Structure 1
Amino acid sequence: MTSEASRAPEATTTHTLTGVPALPPLLLRGALLSPLKRPRPDADFPRTRLVLPGLRVDLARLAAYERVCGFPTGADALPVTYPHVLAFPTAMRLMSGRDFPLPLLGLVHTSIDITRRATMPASAEYELTTYVEGLAPHRRGTEATVVTELRAGAELVWESRSTYLARHRTAEHPPEAPSTGNPEPLPTHARWRLAGDVGRRYGAASGDRNPIHLHPLTARPFGFPRTIAHGMWTVARCLAEHGTPDAAVVRADFRAPVLLPGTVAYGAGEDGRFELRDGEGRRLHLSGEVGPYPA
């Protein structure tokens, strides 16, 4: 039990936005404030729920996203991962603020859980809600959970929980679940040769222009010899290959970065599990599972 859990909960406020936040100033603010942050799991965090009503999908941007991720284009239905892109500006508004305790630069997306309750037409109007659910200790630092909800009218049609890790020295390590190591590979269904510009193409379609994805020179200060693929691109690419039910539950864990350019192997089992490994099938980059909702 963390000290965060022992504190009395603070009041939550709701802020209704009049439009989609502009990303460049948010990313700049987050970068400038990052050196000032001192992350710890018992730190305070923003209790604001950002609500964006009247949200419409930019169909040209959606098509660019579908092309780079391997989804079919032209259907009046959002890919299961696309609401994460819609929520990216509101998430950045929260995570780039002074009251968010983790530095935006170097923040690592470690997992995502998605529940899609029904098909989501690309032509529909939605209401988006984003908020920080809490902080938790991690053996490598502090992890934040960010929740996104998408509604059509009053109906909740899609929701996700993403965890983001800020790495830092820790005095104590929380208990860890038993390690599964590097599990036996799933049957390989495809091998993909990834070009060096995948990060830039996905960044242009999604708005996520983190420097680790854009150029080797901007990735090296963060410890990467080359650019790396976005974690959300890897899960979207796998789900485009795997397919998902109209009502689906998805879980994905980002295990190791995918260096660009490079070759990866997509594997899948009959039980809904999927994964992404290196070209030789040894290093596990992504593991996940997809099934029907309700389970």
Structure 2
Amino acid sequence: MHWQTLDATPFLPPLYWRAMLKRKITGSTLPAHGLRCEVNVNPRNVAAYRKVCGFADSPLLPATYPHILAFGVQMQLLTDPSFPFPLLGLIHLSNRIRLHRPLGGVSHLWINVHAQNLKPHPKGATFDIVTTARDALGLLWEAQSRMLCRGVKLEGAATDAALPTPTHVSELTRWTAPADIGRRYARVSGDYNPIHLSALTAKLFGFPQAIAHGLWNTARSLAALGEHLPAAPIEIDVEFRKPVRLPSDVTLLASAAGSSGEWLLKGAGEIEHMVGQWRPIT
């Protein structure tokens, strides 16, 4: 892997313009380079993120917050001319977070982003966006976001592995995903994907209503789980199933607090929006 070091966090507007212009698949090979950038943690931005996602005040960053710090670097990679797939239309299937140490006392981090693991899928092809965050002591946090690009044809057997649906869970809490949560989350994350902003912009991409960001669903769930989860080191897996249409009422069901467990986010009519697991890093 060849690493390119960025001088500063990427400026997002030109990257969104690139994303809008690229609408076709241009290849079937992931770029052999990754991007590296030093980012700073702004306490005011963290506070705004906590408010939108429901996290309580804490000296520790939320487990999902490094995704926010890395978003511009991820966008830079995914809109690079060497990247073969159009960003708009990619489907976020699942996410894995590995928190190696508590996210306390963090003022700046080195963020690394690259893509790997291109595989055939029944509906196209999947790949992983791999993001790591390091401080002066070494690896602190890492995540793998599995993405689906429809219409890609690769040789080999197509697979579609899935997390099991949780069975030993009970209701923990409920909340409403309001109609404006996509816009509110976009303001704290920088992620202005049209499918999340309004019914009008979502319809341009085949959705009858705007849908909540998958990472907002994840963050809101982790905020509600709170002390249910053990401290680092911990691994968190989530799989996105049916999107949360806005506005919607959802219910979070979880197993008992402990070193490992699982949860389920459900909507009206027993719709399964998301399943998740947590476990110690071994």
Normalising by structure 1, we get a TM-score of: 0.87
Provide the alpha-carbon RMSD of the alignment.
2.1
Note closer, same or farther for the CA distance 1:60–1:180 as it changes in structure 2 (3 Å cut): closer
Q: Does 1:229 align with 2:212?
A: yes
Please name the residue that 2:18 is paired with.
Answer: 29
Matches for 1:39-118 after TM superposition, within 5 Å:
43-53=28-38, 55-73=39-57, 75-118=58-101
What secondary structure does 2:13 align onto? Answer: helix
Q: Does 1:147 align with 2:130?
A: yes
Matches for 1:160-179 after TM superposition, within 5 Å:
160-168=143-151, 174-176=157-159
Q: How many percent of aligned residue pairs carry the same amino acid?
A: 37
Moved more, 119-128 or 260-269: 119-128
What is the alpha-carbon distance in structure 2 between the residues aligned to residue 218 and residue 122 of structure 1? 39
Q: How many residues align?
A: 276
Q: Does 1:212 align with 2:200?
A: no
What is the alpha-carbon distance in structure 2 between the residues aligned to residue 182 and residue 80 of structure 1? 23
What secondary structure does 2:71 align onto? Answer: helix
What is the alpha-carbon distance in structure 2 between the residues aligned to residue 148 and residue 135 of structure 1? 16
In structure 1, list runs of 5 or more residues that go unmatched: 1-11
Aligned partner letter, 1:254: F
What is the CA distance between 1:136 and its match in structure 2?
Answer: 1.2
Please name the residue that 1:276 is paired with.
Answer: 265
What is the CA distance between 1:13 and its match in structure 2?
Answer: 1.4
What is the alpha-carbon distance in structure 1 between the residues aligned to residue 96 and residue 139 of structure 2? 15
Note closer, same or farther for the CA distance 1:155–1:172 as it changes in structure 2 (3 Å cut): closer
What is the alpha-carbon distance in structure 2 between the residues aligned to residue 23 and residue 220 of structure 1? 23
What is the CA distance between 1:190 and its match in structure 2?
Answer: 1.4
In structure 2, list runs of 5 or more residues that go unmatched: none
What secondary structure does 2:69 align onto? Answer: helix
What is the CA distance between 1:122 and its match in structure 2?
Answer: 5.3
What secondary structure does 1:166 align onto? Answer: strand
Note closer, same or farther for the CA distance 1:286–1:109 as it changes in structure 2 (3 Å cut): same
Task: Give the conservation status (yes or no) of the 8 Å contact 1:30–1:97.
Answer: no
Note closer, same or farther for the CA distance 1:173–1:263 as it changes in structure 2 (3 Å cut): farther
Task: Give the conservation status (yes or no) of the 8 Å contact 2:120–2:154.
Answer: no
Aligned partner letter, 1:230: H
Matches for 1:173-192 after TM superposition, within 5 Å:
174-176=157-159, 184=167, 186-192=169-175
What is the alpha-carbon distance in structure 1 between the residues aligned to residue 242 and residue 178 of structure 2? 18
Normalising by structure 2, we get a TM-score of: 0.91
